[in-house]
Amino acid sequence: MSYQVLARRWRPKTFSELVGQEHVVRALSNALDNDRLHHAYLFTGTRGVGKTTIARILAKSLNCEQGVSAHPCGECSVCREVDEGRFVDLIEVDAASKTGVDDTRELLENVPYAPVRGRYKVYLIDEVHMFSSHSFNALLKTLEEPPPHVKFLLATTDPQKVPVTVLSRCLQFSLNRLPIEQISAQFEHILKEEGTEADEQALHLLARAADGSMRDGLSLLDQAIAFGGGSVGLQATRDMLGVNASDLLPELLLKVHQGDAAAVLAGVEALAEQTPDFAALLKDLVLLLHRVALLQATPSAWQASWGEKERFEALGEALESEDVQLYYQIALLGQRDLPLAPDMRSGFEMLLLRMLTFRPLGSAPPTQPAGQPARTGRSAPRAQAGPSAPPASTRPEVADPVATDVAPEKRNPSASVAPVDFSDWHAILPQLGLSGMAAQLAGHSMVQAWDGKELRLVVDQNFVSMLGSLAEERLLDALQQHLGAELRLSWTPGEANDTPAERRQAAQQERQQKAREDIVSDPLVQAMQDAFDAELIEDSIRPTEH
């Protein structure tokens, strides 16, 4: 006897054997048991999720010799003939190969005639969206008022192409993609019954590669058994799926985090030697970051099917939680942009370089004792080229607005008083090279006091929420690099008058007013207004930025 593939041998024959789609099974079971049957059903969903299988079970339930119910006996001649695909009153049509209107009319000619053996004549039309518009029109009248002995079961992967006139005449059921856990559990059940040895992680890999389709998953499982010589091993499965390159992703991610561009590009070169599918590799990178984030949030999220726990724990300790979120977002958006790149490898390289460029300022991984739990706080300041780069304070220190000096015992005797004068905050700020939130925080602050070791700033009340954030760390980092020595930074919330931000706003308003006056008084503009009865829209005037 010839070998029958797993997808056919293990096709569910009853609703109880069906994996997933509980919402559809419940609705159909209630309809069958309570005799509330519609004349037309439309099953939608991606490939291999059970559309045709559910339709066949429904046909069997309608015609079982034991009576209409959600539990066909599976033993009578009708049930056996449906399972074997030779029941005369189940007419299966592949709409992809019968798209013409003549084919549809020929199909519908027999609708008025009573069923030969069963209670109902069931028309199962697969991929119904492939019908032409004329075919849909031919079907429409019959679909609206069919004889009582006829049921229509339509299935499609693309319901958007089905006319709304057809959709409105059917009960529509949308079938979901199957979760990886359900597919993997079904694999375990099948292989246990088949007496085939399998590695749990290998089955998880196959289930993920199935992309929500049980049929695709069973085809991959068949292939894995053949590839592994009768068993499903982890390494053989990885070789078959071509996912060995994914093992290099954790190390590559660490190189990105360390800001080592040369090492990142060398890592991509090592990946390319294994001729990977870079699109699939990017999905693996997204999945890796997702799992690291879960593990950082709660260690109980760990699942054995993920692989070596130590690798995820090491990444969780090395990467800050905000870094993981940033990398995840870049990788997620990169999946959209990857097909637009000149080639997949260059697109993947640019994505990693984008992570490296936009990583938080202090994201170089610090050394931590082994076994210490993953950190979720702010990044430590990155090492700077200069005399020294001390760590930032972990929380904002609100200074006493009256005090103007620091207690002698709190000073660092080993550091000399720096000669830099911070009194002219407006002149110093442009030299710091700040951007983003750090520039906003500094721009809405003013110097209160500077004693050579501690810089006290008054910050606008509206920007107090930035204290203790990465913006404060970046400001302190820039000040220390500018000074060339350590300093302390403390804050007094209050009214910061004549801040750099206020000066910029005043200057901008002055430029805007000057531009408006220049345009209004321009002879050419006035001539155009007179000649064409034109109206000057003053709100559209913008000063030229030099």
**Does the pLDDT of residue 221 top 50, yes or no?**
yes
**For residue 186, what are the domain limits?**
180-241
Three-class DSSP labels, 31-79: HHHCCCCCCEEEEECCCCCCHHHHHHHHHHHHHCCCCCCCCCCCCCHHH
**Quick one: pLDDT band at residue 189, thresholds 50, 70, 90?**
very high
Instruction: Using the structure block, give the residue that is written with the tokens 């997204």.
Output: 286
Residue range 85-112, pLDDT digits in tens: 889 999 988 887 776 778 788 888 888 8
C-alpha distances out from residue 360 to 249, 258, 330, 332, 389, Å: 20, 11, 13, 18, 16
Supply the DSSP string of 424-466, one letter for each residue. Answer: -HHHHGGGG---HHHHHHHHTEEEEEE-SSEEEEEEEGGGGGG
Give the pair of three-digit tokens for residue 322: 């905000």
Can you give the CATH number for the domain in which 467 is found? 3.30.300.150
- pLDDT category of residue 368 using cuts at 50, 70 and 90: very low
Counting the structural domains of the chain, the total is 5
Token digits of residue 30: 């209630």
| 3-class SS of residue 527 | helix
pLDDT tens sequence across 512-539: 888 888 888 888 888 888 888 888 887 7
Q: How far apart are the first and last CA of the chain?
A: 84
d(CA 279, CA 286): 11
Are residue 156 and residue 186 in the same domain, yes or no? Answer: no
Residues 135 and 210 placed together within one structural domain of the fold: no
Same domain for 162 and 21, yes or no, is yes
Least confident of 100-104, 296-300, 378-382, 494-498: 378-382
Do 322 and 348 lie in one domain? The reply is: yes
Average pLDDT, the chain: 81
**Mean pLDDT on 311-319:** 80
pLDDT at site 63: 92
Contact 146, 39 (CB under 8 A): yes
Same domain, 93 and 191: no
Looking at the domain assignment, is residue 41 inside a domain? Answer: yes
138 and 25 inside one domain: yes
d(CA 505, CA 295): 45
For residue 113, is it within any domain?
Answer: yes
Q: Do residues 30 and 165 both lie within one domain?
A: yes
Token reading at 209: 């590669």
Q: Do residues 19 and 147 share a domain?
A: yes
Q: Is residue 370 part of a domain?
A: no
Enter the DSSP assignment of 121.
Answer: E
Q: Are residues 29 and 170 in the same domain?
A: yes
Q: How far is CA 263 from the centre of its chain?
A: 27
Amino acid at 267: G
Residue 64 sits in the same domain as residue 19 = yes
468 in a domain, yes or no? yes
Neighbouring residues of 441: CB distance < 8 A, sequence distance ≥ 6: 459, 463, 466, 467, 471, 472, 475
Q: What is the DSSP pairing of strand 445-450 with strand 454-460?
A: antiparallel
Give the per-residue pLDDT at 247: 75
Q: Taking 70 as the threshold, does the pLDDT of residue 383 lie above it?
A: no
In a domain, 24, yes or no: yes
Q: Which of 324-333, 383-392, 468-477 has the highest mean pLDDT?
A: 324-333
Which residues, other chains included, contact 409 with Cβ-Cβ below 8 Å and sequence gap of 6+?
none
What is the percent of the chain with per-residue pLDDT over 70, rounded to a whole number? Answer: 86
* Residue 116 to residue 81: CA distance in whole angstroms: 13
pLDDT tens by residue, 273-304: 876 788 888 988 998 899 888 888 887 777 76
Separation CA 117–CA 94 (nearest Å): 23
Strands lying side by side in the sheet with 40-44: 90-94, 121-126, 150-156, 40-44, 171-174
CATH for 192: 1.10.8.60
Residues whose CB falls within 8 Å of the CB of residue 47, separated by 6 or more in sequence, listed in order:
157, 213, 215, 216
Indicate if the pLDDT at residue 53 is higher than 80: yes
Domain assignment of residue 365, yes or no: no
- Domain limit, last residue, from 358, 377, 397: 358
Q: How many helices (H) and strands (E) does the chain have?
A: 22, 8
Is 379 inside a domain boundary? no
Residue 381 has pLDDT above 80, yes or no: no
Are residue 258 and residue 190 in the same domain, yes or no?
A: no
CATH of the domain at 108: 3.40.50.300
Structure tokens at 93: 């049509």
Closest CA to 289 of 242, 329, 346: 329
Q: Tell me the longest C-alpha to C-alpha distance in the chain.
A: 105
**Residue corresponding to tokens 């407006």:** 426
Q: Would you place residue 305 in the very low, low, confident or very high pLDDT band (cuts 50, 70, 90)? A: low
Domain boundary among 241, 262, 278: 241
pLDDT-based confidence at 482, cuts 50/70/90? confident
In a domain, 253, yes or no: yes
Whether 54 and 84 share a structural domain: yes
Q: In this predicted model, which residue has the larger pLDDT, 165 or 104? A: 165
What order do you get walking across the sheet with 454-460 strand by strand?
445-450, 454-460, 488-494
Would you state the pLDDT for residue 408? 36
Burial of 137 (0-12, 13-18, 19+ CB in 10 A): middle
The pTM is what? 0.56
